[in-house]
Structure 1
Amino acid sequence: MPQTVVLLYPSDIPDLGLDFPRYGIVSSRGRAMKTVRGLPRADDGEEVTTSVAPATVTSRQVPADELTNERPGLALFRPGTVISNDTTHHGQVTAYNNGVYEFLTSSGPLEVPYDEFQEVAPAIAIFIVASRPSAGNRLAI
C-alpha cells in the first residue's frame, strides 16, 4: 500500500507550536485518530510524531512526489518577493499547483513559477511594507 503524505498546517497541530506547514507521513491508521510522522522542514530539523483527526488527514493529503519535488507546500503563507514585468512584488504564497505559486500582493494575486519566489524573513517583510520607495523605484507592495 502506498504511503499517505499530508501537508499539515500549524492550525491542524497547534500543540507543536509550528509557524509553518509541515509534511508528514501517516504511520498508523486508527479509527479515531491517525498517527503522523512529521518531517522536518530542512535536512537538519527533527521529526515529530503527532495524532491527527482522520478528516484532517483526508483534507490535507498531497501527492507523494511533493516530498522529492521541491516540497512546494513549505512556502505556503510565507512572506516573500517575486519579480514580474520588471517590478518587485512583496506578499505571501497562498496556494500552489502544477509548478506555480499563487502569490498574493496588495495589488492582487500573481501566478509565479516555484523558482521565481524568494522567501524573506518576516521582519524584512514588515520593514519593506513600512518603507516608502522613491519616485524612481518601481516597488509594488
Structure 2
Amino acid sequence: MPAIAVKPRVFKNYLLKIGADSYEAHVSSVALTPSSSIQTWKGGTPAAVFTDATTPTWVADLAYAQDWETPNSLSIYLLNNEGATKEVEFSPLGSGPKFTVTVIITPGAIGGAIDEFGTATVSLGVQGKPVYTAGAVTP
C-alpha cells in the first residue's frame, strides 16, 4: 500500500464570495461543517444488529466582524438578505482548491461586550453538500 503524501497548511488567506461580493476581509473563521449520526437497530438475537450512518447535512459556519457603518458589509448583507438562497465560494487557502455551496442566509447577532471588537458567529444552512474544485495555490 503506497504512503500518501500530506501537505498541511496554516490558514492565512481566505477567499469568500457570497454571490458576486467578496467578504474575506470580514471573516476570521469559515468552516463547512457536516453533521450526521450513527443509527443502530437490534433484533431479538445477537446476530441481528445493523448499523448505518445518516446522510450528512451541512452548515457554513462564519465568525465575522460586525460592521454597521459600511454599506454592503457582511453584517448588513446577512440582515438584509434573510431567507434568501445564495451561492458561496470558499477557498481556505485564498486561491487554488475551492468549495462551492448554496446557503440559506441567516442574520447574525447585533451588539456585544463593551471594550471589545463587535464580532458575531452565524451558521448558514447548506442545500446539498459542498462541491470541490481542484486548483493550484498561487503564492
- Shorter-chain TM-score: which interval? under 0.3
Higher normalized helix content (fraction of residues): 1
Higher normalized strand content (fraction of residues): 2
Determine which structure has greater relative contact order: mean sequence separation of CA pairs < 8 Å that are 6+ residues apart, divided by chain length: 2
When normalised by structure 1's length, the TM-score is: 0.23
